[in-house]
Amino acid sequence: MGEPVPTVIEFYSTTGEYGCFSNFSRHSIHLKGKRWATTEHYFQAQKFAGTAHEEAVRMCKRPSDAANMGRSRKLPLRRDWESVKDQIMLDALRAKFTQHDDLKAILLGTGDAKLVEHTANDSYWADGGDGSGKNRLGQLLMRLREELRSAE
């Protein structure tokens, strides 16, 4: 038996034991008939699904470039974004953790730990740095972990 799994696992950076939980981690996914360099590329591109901007985001060199392009309000955001963004994130995560067996093993290896994206930079996907955020990324990872566990 290795180290016991902590009851709360915080992640943010792509480095470290749980760096693969970051959407910036360099694990490509295949979705919508295309290869995406990271889940961040896919997620940000879906803000512009069906437009030339979707492909432009997909082709970004770095996940930070994709994020910056996706966050730019100079580009027309799809009208239904707020109602579909959680499902799009879940689709991206599901692709990542089913297309990479090593990542699936890491996620399943977290047991029943609470997964928390810990950063003051985001109070929707993360915990806002002080626990006041919604931690939607952590919640979706825990939901996916349950799905994967049930399927085993």
Instruction: Tell me whether residue 45 is in a domain.
Output: yes
Q: Does residue 63 fall inside a structural domain?
A: yes
pLDDT > 90? residue 95? yes
Report pTM.
0.94
Tell me whether residue 3 is in a domain. Answer: no
**Other CB atoms within 10 Å distance of the CB of residue 32:** 14
Q: pLDDT, tens digit, for every residue of 53-66? A: 999 999 999 999 99
Tell me if 101 is assigned to some domain. Answer: yes
Which of 36, 15, 14, 34 minimizes the C-alpha distance to 24?
Answer: 14
Task: Specify if 2 maps to a domain.
Answer: no
Range of the domain at 69: 8-151
Residue in the block written with tokens 């730990």? 113
Number of structural domains, the chain? 1
Q: Is pLDDT of 43 > 60? A: yes
**97 has pLDDT over 60:** yes
- CATH number of residue 32's parent domain: 1.10.357.40
Q: How would you classify the pairing of strands 34-36 and 29-31?
A: antiparallel
Across the chain, mean pLDDT equals 96
pLDDT at 4: 73
